[in-house]
């Protein structure tokens, strides 16, 4: 037999996805009102995409590095869906593998010119910022 207990937001963790209190969910009805910032940004933490892109741009100022990232990032991004399709298409695995390796080579060559390590070595979330930075750059915003 299940015995109802009082549940608090802190017990559920900061990143809970339960509906807000009072929405009809029996567990949610027992919860106190959620703190205003209980789930701001998820993986992004307390920063907006614009803040992440701005910080990323600060470490990608050298012309060669920006060029290498402009070429390398879409190569890496294209390799992911191709790699997912490769089990179903004979010999396709060579294409995403080459794109992935060459794309990362461009990244590291660019950072050699920048004379700075890649941002993701400080914070893994920068691995997901690169594609957004690339889109902003192509759109003329980065």
What is the helix, strand, coil percentage profile of the chain, to 5? 60, 0, 40
- Residue matched to tokens 């992004």: 44
Domain ranges of the chain: 1-39, 49-138
pLDDT of 13 reads 53
Q: What is the pLDDT of residue 79?
A: 97
pLDDT at 28: 53
Choose among 9, 65, 59, 81: nearest CA to 39.
9
Residue 39, Cβ density class (10 Å: 0-12 exposed, 13-18 middle, ≥19 buried): middle
Query: What is the pLDDT, as a whole number, of residue 37?
Result: 44
Please state, in angstroms and rounded to a whole number, the distance separating the CA atoms of residues 40 and 36. Answer: 8
Q: Which residue has the tokens 């209980």?
A: 38
- The model's pTM is 0.65
pLDDT, residue 36, reads 46
- Alpha carbons 19 and 35: distance in angstroms, whole number: 13
Structure tokens at 21: 């209190």
C-alpha 28/C-alpha 18 separation (Å) is 7
Q: Which residue ranges of the chain lie beneath pLDDT 70? A: 1-44, 142
Exposed/middle/buried for residue 73 (C-beta within 10 Å: 0-12, 13-18, 19+): buried
């Amino acid at each position: 037999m299940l015995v109802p207990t009082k549940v608090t937001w802190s017990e559920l963790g900061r990143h809970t996805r339960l509906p807000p209190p009072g929405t009809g969910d029996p567990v949610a009805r027992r919860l106190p009102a959620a703190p205003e910032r209980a789930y701001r940004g998820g993986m992004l933490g307390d920063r907006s995409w614009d803040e992440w892109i701005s910080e990323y741009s600060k470490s990608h100022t050298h012309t060669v590095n920006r060029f290498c990232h402009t070429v390398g990032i879409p190569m890496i991004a294209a390799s992911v869906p191709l790699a997912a399709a490769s089990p179903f298409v004979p010999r396709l695995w060579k294409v995403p593998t080459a794109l992935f390796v060459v794309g990362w080579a461009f990244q590291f060559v660019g950072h050699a010119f920048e004379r700075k390590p890649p941002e993701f070595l400080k914070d893994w979330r920068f691995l997901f910022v690169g594609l957004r930075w690339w889109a902003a750059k192509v759109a003329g915003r980065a």
